[in-house]
Amino acid sequence: MAVSFGSVGDIIAVCLLVKDLVDTLDNSRGSRAQYQDLLRELGSLERCLLQVDLLTRSSTSPDILAICETAKLTVADCQTALDSLSTRMQKYDRYLGHSRPQSGAFLAHARPVVDAAMKVRWQISEKDKIEEFRQKITAHTNVLNMLLATAQLKLSEKNADKMDSMQATWNAEVTGALTRVERRLDENTTRISEAKSMLAHISGSISWIRDFCSKMQASVDTLLSVGRQVHAGVMQIQQAQLSPLMERLLTDEPFVLEDAIGRRAPVHLQFINSWDALHAVLEARFRDIQGADKVSRNEYSFQDRATGREVVRTRPWEGAFLPGQRVDMSFVFERYRSCEKTAEETVNVNSCPRCRKTVATRSLEIQVEW
């Protein structure tokens, strides 16, 4: 933190006092040639004080703070001298300045005489004092200028040291960056060499794959040619021999019948050509075995295994069955018995002929397949 001369307000007060003295000497309208040097000295002092104030606000260096301590004494002497000069000039400002009173006719006529007297008094009694004051101001100004020059030199040295430090730091950073760049370049060079080697290997592999693909294409072309020849030969054989045979096989294919007791047998539609012929075959197959009476009484039915639909025997024989069809045969049972529930009510009950299980409690007229 910057050290002030007592306080920052003291420096500002001194600057304002110098400004007031300049205004006083300029407005007194005395001998301007006599006061010109004093005005210049006061102006120089004001500029020095402003530079000192700026220096104390912005500097934190110990060397600069020591110079500021020295300048503090000079500023105090300047303030004492300026206070003394301001006190002596206040009594002349009424007569020599621009703030003279203008009221009253008598005072208006007497004013030139008083002004002249005060000017004579100023010239006789104050000239030496002003000269002495000017010399003091000049000395203080010179001292402050020397202190400011010394401070500027210190600041320049400090800035130079700072710039040297920054330059060294920057050089170190640049050197480190160049080292890292050089290392990266070496790594990239190594990677490029590896990539070149890999590309050469890949190029050789691609050449081998290209040759292999060419050979495979030739083999595929050969196989396609052979396949086309085989296909042409097969087509010729089919057209010449197999077409009538396949048509005959499809026409002669029987349908498969599984009877009510689980026996399977093919039924050729060219041999069995009517419902009566099929019934006669079934009677012959069930002769002297269980179910013969059912077959003789036509108590059986047929179902398509794929769809589960019944093949109705009232349909024409030519549209009843198809070659390759799977057909299941079932027996049909119908039996009724009476069961008295009360004295007045008799209910017909339908039951299974094998297990005797009742399937309804009212009169039923349905067919049970078994």
List the domain boundaries for the chain. 8-176, 255-369
Residues 6+ apart with CB under 8 A from 292: 283, 286
Apex CA 139: angle with CA 136 and CA 17, to 5°?
55
Single-letter amino acid, residue 228: R
Reduced to 3 states, what is the DSSP secondary structure of residue 308?
coil
**In the numeric block, which tokens belong to residue 249?**
């096989």
Single-letter amino acid, residue 194: E
**In the numeric block, which tokens belong to residue 332?**
């049909």
Residues facing 310 on adjacent strands:
303
Residues facing 328 on adjacent strands:
258, 303
Encode the chain (370 residues) as per-residue pLDDT tens digits.
Answer: 344 445 566 667 777 766 666 655 554 444 444 556 666 777 777 777 777 777 666 666 666 666 666 676 677 777 777 777 766 666 665 655 544 454 444 444 446 666 656 665 665 566 677 777 777 777 777 777 777 777 777 777 778 888 888 888 888 899 999 999 999 999 999 999 999 999 998 988 999 999 999 999 999 999 999 999 998 888 887 776 545 545 555 556 889 999 988 899 899 888 888 999 999 999 999 998 988 899 999 999 999 999 989 999 888 988 888 888 999 999 988 654 444 444 444 444 455 554 555 555 444 444 444 5
The C-alpha atoms of residue 71 and residue 112 are separated, in whole angstroms, by 45
Distances 318 to 141, 275, 280, 315, 329 between C-alpha atoms, Å: 143, 10, 18, 8, 19
Question: Considering the domain 255-369, what is its CATH architecture?
Answer: Roll (3.10)
18, 19, 22, 23 alpha-carbon torsion, rounded to 10°:
-140
